[in-house]
Amino acid sequence: MRFLQRSLRPVYAPLLHPKHTARIQLSNATPLPAWTRSFHASASWRALDLAYRLHDHNGDAKGDPIVIIHGLFGSKRNNQSVANAFARILSRPVYAIDTRNHGESPHDTTHNYTALADDVEAFLKKHDLKNATLIGHSMGAKTVMTLALRNPDSCANIIPVDNAPVDAALSSDFPKYAEGMKRVEQAKPKSQKEADKILEPYAKDLPVRQFLLTNLGRPEPSAPLKFRIPIQTLARSLDDMADFPFTNPDEVRFSKRALFIRGTKSPYVSDETLPIIGRFFPRFELVDIDSGHWVISEKPEEFIKAVVNFLQEKE
């Protein structure tokens, strides 16, 4: 197992990196909301009641809660193994959630980071989860960063996995995945094998196809297979998933601990993004794991070790 040493980054980066200042401007981007302590005062949509699974090591996990959030096209099922490990090793209950438009959670035509984070804040309040650690991969990473910056009192610390607080184009794979999933749904396949064959030109790697096809189900006996998630809504939201709702770290900052975990073979957290991470999250630490973007599934043991080491450290 290869585990790369964490390194503490400078408190404030002196300058924004040019890559961050040359931000992607989206013609349909929503205006940036003013920073407030409460999402609900500025949100124009309703927070959705999120589905979740509690991992509490048969009731023995009594510590501060951990909330773990999947990435785009994922679900709470993706994080079962690591959630069980955290509950056992750390004796902390772990809530693996489905975000809006994913898994068993409700669907809504709005799918951006402010709405996603608003849902998570409502989840924390509903379940009275105080002093929580928020872990998120990819889409989930930007969701926990958004919530931490909007409401620093909502959590004790955050662990974003393979994403950075910048506007950056998604890998070209994600539009292909969305297109392939549309093709699958249009074909009304009768079997997983048939669906896999349709999806193969759009997702060459079998593990990725298997991941995407976990969203496929049969609404009723003998009916064609259909995706449980709203593919059209998520496809329309890809630009929003590339965006980040904050642009000025001089106005909003999360001064509690933050652990950024990145895959060294992934493009999403380049060295050029580290200065801006340091300005938004001045106490951030960094762990590099020898993997691609799917850090948790590719290197689960290294991921678990990094999180456990971070959370067992004293403030």
Annotated active-site residue 237? The verdict is no
Neighbours of 250 (CB within 10 A): 7
**64 neighbors 37 (Cβ within 8 angstroms):** no
Angle between helices 173-187 and 206-213 (to 10 degrees): 60
3-state DSSP of 123-148: HHHHCCCCCCEEEEECHHHHHHHHHH
Catalytic residue among 138, 237, 291, 297: 138
Distance, in Å, from the CA atom of 20 to the CA atom of 18, rounded to the nearest integer, reads 5
Question: What's the CA gap between 233 and 222, in Å, rounded?
Answer: 26
Nearest 5°: phi and psi at 159? -135, 90
Q: Does 138 qualify as catalytic in the annotation?
A: yes
| Spatial distance between the Cα atoms of 1 and 55, rounded to a whole number of angstroms | 26
Q: Which amino acids are annotated catalytic?
A: 138, 293
